[in-house]
Copies of this chain bind each other. A is one copy, B any other.
Amino acid sequence: MRVPSRVGVAGVTGAVGLEMLAVLEQRSFPTELVRAMASGQREGRTVRFRGADLPVETLTARSLDGLDIVLFATGAEVSREFVPAAASAGAVAIDNSKAFRMDPAAPLVVPEVNPAAAFEHRGIIANPNCSTIQMVLALKPVHDAAVLKRVVVSTYQSVSGTGLAAIEELTAQSRAVLSDEPVVRDVYPAQIGFNCFPHIDDFDAEGNALEETKMVLETRKIMGLASLPVAATCVRVPVFRSHALALNVETEKDLDPAEARALLASAPGVRVVDDPASAGYPTQAGTAGTDEVWVGRVRRDPSVPHGLWMWVVADNLRKGAALNAVQIAELLIGEPRH
């Protein structure tokens, strides 16, 4: 891999794409050039990067020529078309969509959990689902110490994962409710202003939302635990940024909460805040914009022999998407920095 690299960011005008640019800049990722791309791009649009206005090019097969790394913040449909094209053109494509995550030929990588997998790519590396990334960072130290037996998780997911239009919808619906005006729905299938709903991505015939299935299958793939029992309910909550998880784990061996806290506190990318009586626990508003996965409320679940509860919060646009993708790129150029 050439360093400094020729880097492309596709889908650069969305919430994740803009965050990818910000992370590249903040982490001083070594670049020879940075090309900003978006599909169906209007003429003349620019994005700010390192103090300059970067023109946004229309994403085409030709626009992917001559790049070493392309970060894709595009939706699955666009990724299915252009990610293989980027790989064919000689780049490594790091794709944030769900398109290639379960493809056996594409590694699914969280640098703190399975960094070696990044080097087994054939031109395409998949960036996992936002909720899954923060969950596996909390599960890894627990598994290493006590062996996971079963995971049951309920999520509290912010709207920014859906994109900028969803942020606007939460804003507009919240204003409408506060003014006693009618709520207008556009992006979401149910009201999000002052409301929660258990519907993230499409449903399968058994009634599972695809987001829930992602948390099952992606966790198994990242952790290399092909048959790990995982059960998930995914819920959208009226919060702008960061996702939270109520995470219940059952382990083969006993793991004292104090020991779990110590293991988590020394795990890469994880921060522990656990003094609940003094309101010492992570929240979404308190962690928005941060890079870490925050864990609190570590306590025994006595309803099984070796049960443990954790409350896991992370910025879904940073560690849950853009930061994780850039960390994968750092692995590839031999500059992993947590």
Contacts and interface: CB of A to CB of B under 8 A. Distances in A.
Given A206-B300, A276-B209, A281-B197, A246 B240 contact: no
Interface residues of A, number: 60
Nearest to A299: B207
A179 to B, nearest CB: 10
Interface string A266-302: 0000000010110101011110000000001111111
A272 to B, nearest CB: 13
A11 interface: no
Contacts of A257: 206-207
B309 A231 contact: yes
Number of copies: 2
Contacts of A300: 206
A195 B189 CA distance: 21
A197 B283 contact: yes
A196 B239 contact: yes
A264 to B, nearest CB: 14
B303 A207 contact: no
Nearest to A205: B277
A230 interface: yes
A303 B235 contact: no
A252 B93 CA distance: 48
A233 to B, nearest CB: 4
A184 interface: no
Given A191-B285, A283-B190, A238 B235 contact: no
30 contacts: A152-B303, A154-B154, A154-B233, A154-B246, A156-B196, A156-B237, A170-B194, A174-B174, A178-B178, A191-B283, A194-B240, A194-B285, A196-B284, A197-B279, A198-B246, A198-B311, A199-B281, A203-B277, A206-B300, A207-B276, A209-B276, A231-B248, A231-B303, A231-B304, A231-B307, A233-B297, A233-B309, A238-B238, A238-B239, A246-B246
Given A202-B277, A229-B303, A231-B307, 11 more contacts: A151-B303, A152-B152, A154-B233, A170-B194, A194-B239, A195-B239, A197-B279, A206-B299, A209-B276, A233-B246, A233-B297
